[in-house]
Structure 1
Amino acid sequence: MAQRPPPTPMLQAFVSAAQTGSFARAASELNLTASAISHQIAGLEEWWGVQLFERHSRGVKLTPAGETLLPVADSFFKALDAVLQSLSPSKSQPLHLSCTSSLCATWLIPRMHGAHAEAALNLDLVLTSVDISRATLSVHPFDVAVVMGDGDYPDHHVELLMRDAVFPVCSPQFKRVNGEIALEDIARYPLIHRVDDQVCPGWESWFAFHGLEAPPYHHGPRFPDSSLAISLAVKGGGIALGRTALVHDQLKDGELVALNAPTMMSPAAYYIICRNGRQSERDIARLFDWLKAQAHQFIDQVRGSGA
């Protein structure tokens, strides 16, 4: 005889905690207490007799059993939501748009200013700033996402948004103090680093591109987000690697200057993705069109400025 399924609130607590990596954040998302989330998940683990999470002081991590359960439980709720919306189409739900954190802060949000009132983007949107990789597609809920990578996202409809050039930038004051900085001398100055350069080219890649020998280890502040590294460069804290979409507005406004060095094209590009089959939904298609129109307009501006 098949075992009866557990109560839905237990599964909801599990999915939310798995996707957020925290009982506290899951509690906030579901409008419950962290203790209630912990009890729901403990009940679910007792229900099946398996451990779903490893508990740590800084959060929780899925066990192999939890990783097996997550996509099934997540698909169940998504399928249930789709059916309920089809049965009650008058109750429209907002679109959830996720965007890689640096691009969200420096490119997307400035271009959304006032756009919600335009016919082209008169959509009910929930915007989330999060970096989604191919490995984390199943744990981040979204309708449409702007991601940075190689364009290979299984089970998803993918369209190219734009590509980036990479080049060193600093504040005008930093340049005035240090004068013209030769290409081969950049390693002698304070460099601002991005912690994880698996997708974004880092200084090591940049030195190699120019045929320069990078120092064995270059001390300097390291940030998990490119926009934070750029913010420190704006304050005069050193030289950062800028990408076109992230620094063009600051270059135009005079907050940053580009050093005299050939640009390097980033091997990763920005893509818009959604689940296969959803690209034909009216609101998702409109959001795709608006994002691509903004990218085309931006690319024209970059070309017009000679950047």
Structure 2
Amino acid sequence: MAQRPPPTPMLQAFVSAAQTGSFARAASELNLTASAISHQIAGLEDWWGVQLFERHSRGVKLTAAAQALLPVAEGFFKELDAVLHSLNPGKSQPLYLSCTSSLCSTWLIPRMHGSHAQASFNLDLVLTSADMSSASLSAHQYDVAVVMGYGDYPDHYVEPLMRDAVFPVCSPAFQRLHGDIALADIARYPLIHRVDDQVCPGWESWFAFQGLAAPPYHHGPRFPDSSLAISLAVKGGGIALGRTALVYDALKEGALVALKAPVMMSPAAYYIICRSGRQSEPDIARLIDWLKAQADEFVREV
């Protein structure tokens, strides 16, 4: 006899927790408490007789069983939405636009201001922020996403959006306090770190690009998100590595100044992606066109 399907709230909790990587974020997404999400997940594990998550102090990790079950659970909700839409085509469904968290807060949202009233952008959007890699795409809900990488997104329609330069920035108050900072002396000052990786170069990469010897270890706050590092620089907390799209508005407004140094081009670029075949859907095509228009205008201004 086939096993009865579990209650829908359990499935929703599972999919949301898997996509966000956190019971707390899933709770916020579903307007529940983290305890309620944990209870639903535990109930689903009992229902199916498998462990779905490994619980750690810093979050949760999907087990092999969860990785096998997640596409099925995600597919259930997507197919349900598709059938409901076909039965009631007059009721529009919002588009899910996902964007890297730093670009979302510093570049995308300011350019959305006022755009929702324009005919070219009058779309029903749910905006989410997530830093997605090629390997983690299946764990996120999106119709269109702006990602940072190298363009290798199998089974996706991919459009280049723009590329950043990388250069040191600080607050005007910090510059007034310390005067002109020579390129060779930057390591002597408080540095604000973005955790270095291949996609987002950090100070180690920048020093190497400049042909300078980096200190063996440089104390300072380390952030997983570039916008957090930039926020501390705006407050006068030290020198951060800025990327063009993330600091341009702050430079224009005088909240930041750029130090004199040769710019380093980011090894990665921003791309617009959606699943193959969906780029021709009218609302998705309009959203892609709007994103490209905003990026083209921004690049011309820069």
TM-score category, normalised to shorter length: over 0.9
Give distance in 2, aligned partners of 1:125 and 1:229. 28
Kindly state the Cα deviation for residue 57 of structure 1 after the two structures are TM-superposed.
Answer: 4.9
Could you list the per-position Cα deviations for residues 74-130 of structure 1 after superposition, in whole angstroms to 9, with x for gaps in the alignment?
122212212221222111111111111111111111111111001111111111122
Matches within 5 A, 1:110-189: 110-189=110-189
Letter in 2 for 1:288: I
Structure-2 change in CA distance of 1:29 and 1:187 (3 Å):
closer
Structure-2 change in CA distance of 1:231 and 1:13 (3 Å):
closer
Using the TM superposition, name which of 48-57 and 165-174 deviates more. 48-57
Q: Find out whether 1:70 has 2:60 as its counterpart.
A: no
Q: List alignment gaps of at least 5 residues for structure 1.
A: 303-307
Q: Is the 8 A contact 2:198 2:267 kept in 1?
A: no
2:233 matched residue in structure 1: 233
Q: Find out whether 1:61 has 2:73 as its counterpart.
A: no
Give the share of equivalent positions with the same residue, in percent: 84
2:244 matched residue in structure 1: 244
Q: Is the 8 A contact 2:13 2:40 kept in 1?
A: yes
Letter in 1 for 2:125: L
Give distance in 2, aligned partners of 1:123 and 1:250. 28
Could you list the per-position Cα deviations for residues 229-250 of structure 1 after superposition, in whole angstroms to 9, with x for gaps in the alignment?
1122122221111111111112
Give distance in 2, aligned partners of 1:245 and 1:92. 32
The alignment's TM-score, normalised by the length of structure 2, stands at: 0.93
1:286 matched residue in structure 2: 286
Runs of 4+ residues deviating >6 angstroms: none
Using the TM superposition, name which of 2-11 and 272-281 deviates more. 2-11
1:296 matched residue in structure 2: 296
Give distance in 2, aligned partners of 1:173 and 1:40. 50
Kindly state the Cα deviation for residue 39 of structure 1 after the two structures are TM-superposed.
Answer: 4.2
State the superposition RMSD in angstroms.
1.9
Letter in 2 for 1:265: M
Kindly state the Cα deviation for residue 165 of structure 1 after the two structures are TM-superposed.
Answer: 0.5
Secondary structure of the 1:270 match is strand
Task: Tell me how many residue pairs correspond in the alignment.
Answer: 302
Could you list the per-position Cα deviations for residues 215-273 of structure 1 after superposition, in whole angstroms to 9, with x for gaps in the alignment?
11111111121111112212222111111111111212222111111111000111111
Give distance in 1, aligned partners of 2:7 and 2:252. 56
Letter in 1 for 2:188: R
Kindly state the Cα deviation for residue 189 of structure 1 after the two structures are TM-superposed.
Answer: 1.1
Secondary structure of the 2:291 match is helix
Could you list the per-position Cα deviations for residues 29-57 of structure 1 after superposition, in whole angstroms to 9, with x for gaps in the alignment?
34555555444433432333221122345
1:190 matched residue in structure 2: 190
